[in-house]
Amino acid sequence: MHEPDGGPELVGHFLEHRGYEIVNHVVMNGPSQTHPVGEFPSLDGFDLLIVGGSEKSVTRKEEIDSWIHAEIDLIREAHTAGTPVLGICFGGQVVAEALGGSVEVAPVTEIGWFEIEGSENPVGPGPWFEWHHDRFSPPPDAEILATNDNAVQMYRLGTTVGTQFHPEVTERHVKTWTDLAPDSYLASYGASADKIVREVALHADHNFDQTKALIDWFVDTVVDG
């Protein structure tokens, strides 16, 4: 995870339920940091790689050039070796960039719950939680699994999957994000901390079920398929 508040939460919970042991690697000590805590671990002995969200941006690599290129290399290594990769939000963007896609500032910032669609979408329409200012163009030859009016929301390239949405969120998890977000920033996007946390609670049961479906599909079809 890129910052201490960016853990895998529900995604980690369901991977543990499927028999995986979660090993968290924290890249930076906090959102105000730009330099890594240490080197990325070797992929030896790991069955899959989860690349999570971040407050940083792939469109501003110069701010995080002390580690972003090493992360891109790690993703390419995993993909080439056939080690399954799941990239979430910023993680989905880094994965796209690593494998020949691209990332740009999105014309619409999505904060809140959004429906997704697609004839190949394996996990249903949501709504899914979103909090992002950028969007990815998937790697060449990737299968686009889901979109909405604002962005591609999910893609697959072999054993690698990227999502723009955040399946992992819980109320406690998102509250750590809103606690760090200035009220003026949220208001500029028509949001508020209270509203965001309240809506996470309202969607909690449904999101629990749909994240389980996502991880079951990922393990059964992408990892073991």
CA distance from start to end of the chain: 26
* Helix (H) or strand (E) segment spanning residue 109: strand 102-114
Residue 177, class by beta-carbon neighbours within 10 Å (0-12 exposed, 13-18 middle, 19+ buried)? buried
Say which of 132, 166, 173, 203 is annotated catalytic: 166
Active-site residue, 130 included: no
Cα separation of 83 and 223, whole Å? 8
**All residues at 6 or more sequence positions from 53 whose CB lies less than 8 Å from its CB, including other chains:** 2, 6, 88, 89, 90, 91, 131, 166
- How far is CA 35 from each of CA 50, 67, 68, 69, 122, rounded to the nearest angstrom? 20, 7, 10, 12, 37
Cα separation of 77 and 82, whole Å? 9
* Residue-by-residue DSSP string for 160-190: EEEESSBTT--HHHHHHHHTTS-HHHHHTTT
Active-site residue, 168 included: yes
Say which of 89, 97, 110, 130 is annotated catalytic: 89
Say which of 9, 55, 130, 168 is annotated catalytic: 168
| Active-site residue set | 89, 166, 168
